[in-house]
């Protein structure tokens, strides 16, 4: 099926040129002589592109374009203005109304056809991308939903194993089972968070995320969860919680996920025998979390890529762990969705300090 172009112009000569040029190129055409007629036609058929004259009887092209952009059906349809106006202010006004390009009158066949083809190609690419993103999101939601069942089985199996051990039996095994249980529970929280619809609000917060969270408690939980990983690499993992720390304004699950990403990242890149310390503090109405490590740090030339997805940095995990370059980018997204900020510092003495701050309640 060929693409549909709506031509809006009250000048017969211009219409004749465009109908002949675009019709011969194989496009389906709709024609309107003023803005009101054009708006009425799009109620029935949504075009793939609109060629819109500026100077018309009734509402002009600028107002017509604004109305197109206010309607859900035509909001994303590219609008090319046709105008004899050459002043910069008029061109700026056209873009401000929602136009993507303009064709100068008198209309030239080759120019009009080239611009139309370019913007229709961009429109096709935009639709393909939207379809791919929708498919990917659907797949991820199905996968997330299906992962719940095996995680529940892991949690249940761990609980049954602890019961069979009995009180005081094999404390080391009990510790490992507790770690498995906490890790599986955290995975389930992440999946539950992903499956929820969490649209950012105008204020930068995620809808429904106005919780009151004790980051010191989250800090203790993170240390417990990562104790086995730290022990395996002979890394000293400790917490330095601030006294009387105010509650943070955030979603607990998202804050915990940010905590664990920073901590696991520090453990990956700290050599055996090193130290990772989680510090909480409060100043100027903000609650701050720092994850300090004694790793190699990051070269200055690469620091601008720290929170970029899939960035390939020089430092590599020190114990053969996998690294996909997503952890820091995830933290940035999670924290900023809670109206927070993230950053990193690299002391002259060595090591790294990765931090995030959230508003205090």
- Please report whether residue 210 resides in a domain: yes
pLDDT for the residue numbered 166:
66
pLDDT for the residue numbered 168:
60
> Average pLDDT for consecutive 10-residue bins of the chain (361 residues)?
86 85 91 92 92 88 92 92 77 86 84 91 89 76 70 77 70 78 75 54 44 91 86 94 93 86 92 96 96 94 89 84 78 90 94 96 81
pLDDT for the residue numbered 201:
40
pLDDT for the residue numbered 172:
76
Of 107, 130, 151, the last residue of a domain is 107
Say how many CA atoms lie within 13 Å of 68 toward its Cβ: 34
- Please report whether residue 133 resides in a domain: no
pLDDT for the residue numbered 199:
40
Of 79, 107, 135, the last residue of a domain is 107
Residue 102 sits in the same domain as residue 209: no
pLDDT for the residue numbered 195:
59
Residue 218 sits in the same domain as residue 349: yes
CATH number at residue 91: 3.40.50.2300
Cα–Cα dist 293/274, whole Å: 8
Burial of residue 4, with CB atoms counted within 10 A of its CB: 0-12 exposed, 13-18 middle, 19 or more buried: middle
- Please report whether residue 285 resides in a domain: yes
Phi then psi for residue 32, to 5 deg, are -135, 145
Structure tokens at 126: 């935009």
For residue 269, give the nearest of 292, 295, 231, 243 by alpha carbon.
295
For residue 291, give the nearest of 315, 316, 259 by alpha carbon.
259
CB of 245 closer than 8 Å to CB of 287: yes
Residue 118, helix vs strand vs coil: helix
CATH number at residue 339: 3.30.565.10
pLDDT for the residue numbered 281:
97
Structure tokens at 152: 């529940």
pLDDT for the residue numbered 286:
95
Q: Listing from the earlier edge strand, what are the strands of the sheet with 49-53?
A: 28-32, 4-8, 49-53, 79-83, 101-104
pLDDT for the residue numbered 361:
81
């Amino acid at each position: 099926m060929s693409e549909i172009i709506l031509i809006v112009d009250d000048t017969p000569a211009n219409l004749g040129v465009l109908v002949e040029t675009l019709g011969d190129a194989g496009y389906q055409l709709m024609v309107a002589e003023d803005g009101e007629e054009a708006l009425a036609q799009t109620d029935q058929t949504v075009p793939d592109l609109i060629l819109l004259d500026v100077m018309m009887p009734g509402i002009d092209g600028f107002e017509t374009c604004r109305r197109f952009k206010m309607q859900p059906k035509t909001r994303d349809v590219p609008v090319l203005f046709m105008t004899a106006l050459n002043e910069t202010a008029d061109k700026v006004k056209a873009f401000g109304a929602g136009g993507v390009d303009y064709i100068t009158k008198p209309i030239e066949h080759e120019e009009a056809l080239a611009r139309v083809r370019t913007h229709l190609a961009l429109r096709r690419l935009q639709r393909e991308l939207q379809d791919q993103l929708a498919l990917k999101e659907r797949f991820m939601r199905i996968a997330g939903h299906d992962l719940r069942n095996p995680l529940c089985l892991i949690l249940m199996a761990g609980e049954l194993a602890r019961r069979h051990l009995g009180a005081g039996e094999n404390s080391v095994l009990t510790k490992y089972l507790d770690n498995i249980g906490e890790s599986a529970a955290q995975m389930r929280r992440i999946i539950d968070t992903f499956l929820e619809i969490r649209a950012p609000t105008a204020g930068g917060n995620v809808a429904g995320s106005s919780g009151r969270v004790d980051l010191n408690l989250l800090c203790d939980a993170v240390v417990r969860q990562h104790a086995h990983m730290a022990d395996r690499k002979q890394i000293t993992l400790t917490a330095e919680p601030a006294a009387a720390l105010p509650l943070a304004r955030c979603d607990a699950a998202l804050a915990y996920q940010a905590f664990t990403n920073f901590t696991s990242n520090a453990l990956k890149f700290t050599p055996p025998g090193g130290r990772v310390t989680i510090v909480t503090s409060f100043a100027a109405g903000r609650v701050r979390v720092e994850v300090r490590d004694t790793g190699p740090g990051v070269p200055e030339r690469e620091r601008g890529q720290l929170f970029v997805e899939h960035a390939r940095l020089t430092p590599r995990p020190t114990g053969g762990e996998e690294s996909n370059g997503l952890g820091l980018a995830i933290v940035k997204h999670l924290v900023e969705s809670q109206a927070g900020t993230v950053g990193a510092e690299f002391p002259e003495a060595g090591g790294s300090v990765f931090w995030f701050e959230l508003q205090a309640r």
